[in-house]
Amino acid sequence: MLEHPTKPLRHVIITGGAGFIGSQLSARLIKGKTRVTILTRNPSAPRATSLAQQGCKVVACDLADEQRIPQPDILDPADAMFHFAADVSVSSPTLRAANVDGTSRVLALADALAIPHVVYASSIEAQGLGSDHEIPLREDSACRPVSDYGQSKVQAEELVTKWGSLPGHRALVLRIGNIYGPGSAWFLHPSLLALLGATPILAIWTKLRHRLFQPLFIDDLVEGISRAVDHRLAGTYNITGEEQVTIEGYLATLASLTQLTDRVQLMRKPAELSERSFPIAPDFAYVLMGTEERCHRSYDNSRLRAEIGPYARWSLSRGLAATLKWYDTSGQLPALLAVLRRQPGAMTCM
């Protein structure tokens, strides 16, 4: 049930606080007058530097290396630990060290600092994919990860849940969906290339086009996390977008925003000026994981909404438009956007 939020947090520690999600959450907490310490592998990275200028304390830390964990005595007591650092590779020899062993080290650090509340950024990949008759998947659905990354998240979830069951502890596990927005070109970049004919996807289109996913705009994710923490939730929750979309629907929306609707059909054809074969873009390969039957990333977030209310306000069309505008004005992806500007009528949404 919805309840009135409790008093604001005074100080939090965020691992991965300079990452795409962590930096946005850190900035939000700072604006809310919460003191923030971020643990990051690269304190001199642009996001870490920007957060330091906003008032964050930045501490070097690599959770995959026990020799690079900060000593508790250099950190101030905190009300909560947000564990957002992770190796997000689909498969990597460092996954266990970063995601499983790293989580153990975070929990040990929380104990050393007597932090009672841990918020863990898990992933829908821990739950895996569903078939037409299984979706949307609930939190109590069986976990069937299809990647080493997903398996590492399952193992880390188990550690966090066990820690949260101890006296005086509270743990919140958030299974985060596919996030996009300014600062992340995930799925946007290969999709634009496909629309421009630079990476034809004819060979995979039949398998790709009908697969479902639920993109969640970064601002909506941060809103959901903030509300969940304000309500001091514990347990495991899906935090995903409200809007289910097929890959074909996503590409059609992007094509409409960039005035490239005439290319939706053309993108499936081989490039006219080249006979070489093109490798599958990693983002498309990710969506192609699973089986023909169990292939959808569709999840039920009603449990979280019942606790904190609706948190997703950005439609896919609005979110993609904002993301495109950010890339256009920030100077990111300059070569690709220059090509788009040369298309008749393209980029009018900017």
Please indicate, yes or no, whether residues 260 and 157 belong to a single structural domain of this protein: no
Please indicate, yes or no, whether residues 230 and 286 belong to a single structural domain of this protein: no
Please indicate, yes or no, whether residues 202 and 91 belong to a single structural domain of this protein: no
Is 175 contained in some domain?
yes
| CATH value at residue 166 | 3.40.50.720
Please indicate, yes or no, whether residues 114 and 229 belong to a single structural domain of this protein: yes
Please indicate, yes or no, whether residues 230 and 279 belong to a single structural domain of this protein: no
Q: Name the residue range of residue 28's domain.
A: 11-182+217-239
Q: Single out the residue of 216, 120, 149, 208 nearest to residue 177, CA to CA.
A: 216
Is 305 contained in some domain?
no
Handedness of CA 221, 156, 168, 75 (dihedral sign): negative
Please indicate, yes or no, whether residues 178 and 150 belong to a single structural domain of this protein: yes
How far is C-alpha 220 from the chain's CA centre?
Answer: 11
Is 118 contained in some domain?
yes
Please indicate, yes or no, whether residues 169 and 87 belong to a single structural domain of this protein: yes
For 100-169, the DSSP string reads IIHHHHHHHHHHHTT--EEEEEEEGGGTB-B-TTTPSBPTTSPPB-SSHHHHHHHHHHHHHHHHHTSTT-
DSSP 212: E
Please indicate, yes or no, whether residues 274 and 173 belong to a single structural domain of this protein: no
Is 288 contained in some domain?
yes
Q: What is this structure's pTM? A: 0.91
Question: Residue 226 to residues 41, 169, 207, 216, 222: CA-CA distances in angstroms?
Answer: 24, 19, 37, 15, 6
Question: Residue 146 to residues 91, 119, 286: CA-CA distances in angstroms?
Answer: 10, 24, 10
| Tens-digit pLDDT string for the chain (350 aa) | 455 556 789 999 999 999 999 999 999 999 999 999 999 999 999 999 999 999 999 999 999 999 999 999 999 999 999 999 998 988 888 899 999 999 999 999 999 999 999 999 999 999 999 999 999 999 999 999 999 999 999 999 999 999 999 999 999 999 999 999 999 989 999 999 888 877 778 889 999 999 999 999 999 999 999 999 999 999 999 999 999 999 999 999 999 998 888 877 766 665 554 445 568 889 999 999 999 999 999 999 999 999 999 999 999 999 999 999 998 888 776 556 665 655 555 554 54
